[in-house]
């Protein structure tokens, strides 16, 4: 009987570590949103996420009429900060408004990225949890590559973790 419980615990541990049941070992669950200036690249990124087999939720918008970027960036950032989603991808005309909005939320490290090198570096060194891009700045092919690299690059930790901890401490003591 004791052997059964030990075996069962070991099996469950191995099973959980090798499936998508644990956040630490699963592919990121991503929340995607854009304003009217980013709807075309958002569609490209949705296609990429599907090709990569990644879980995501599309938060909108679904129109070309002018909307306010904070209405999309802030809920995405809040859901990422709360842990409901692992990462967020935001797209507007330049990416600037989305990134400024997202970075107002405690716990968010939103990086405005328009090249592949920065996409990799912001994950490796800054542990960014939200990516912002501008549809009027980059084309769909580059946007897909930036998102792919950003989604597949891990945080390096080490000296970079110390720096993130300093930002977190500042955020906690000055909010």
Instruction: Give the catalytic positions in this structure.
Output: 92, 125
H helices within 64-155, ranges in order? 70-82, 96-102, 116-124, 140-152
Say how far apart CA 149 and CA 144 lie, in whole Å: 9
Say how far apart CA 80 and CA 75 lie, in whole Å: 9
| Torsion, Cα of 113, 171, 102, 110 (10° steps) | 20
């Amino acid at each position: 009987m004791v052997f059964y419980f030990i075996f069962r615990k070991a099996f469950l541990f191995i099973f959980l570590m090798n499936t998508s049941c644990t956040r630490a070992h699963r592919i990121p669950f991503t929340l995607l949103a854009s304003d009217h200036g980013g709807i075309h690249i958002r569609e490209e990124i949705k296609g990429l996420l599907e090709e990569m087999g990644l879980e995501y939720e599309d938060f909108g918008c679904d129109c070309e009429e002018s909307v306010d970027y904070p209405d999309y960036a802030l809920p995405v950032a809040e859901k990422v900060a709360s842990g409901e989603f692992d990462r967020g991808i935001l797209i507007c005309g330049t990416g600037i408004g989305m990134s400024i909005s997202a970075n107002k939320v405690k716990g968010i490290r939103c990086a405005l990225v328009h090249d592949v090198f920065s996409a990799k570096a912001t994950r490796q060194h800054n542990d960014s949890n939200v990516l912002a891009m501008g549809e009027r700045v980059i084309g769909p092919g580059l946007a897909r590559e930036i998102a792919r690299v950003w989604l597949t690059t891990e945080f390096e930790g080490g000296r970079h973790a110390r720096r993130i901890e300093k930002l977190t401490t500042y955020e906690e003591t000055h909010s």
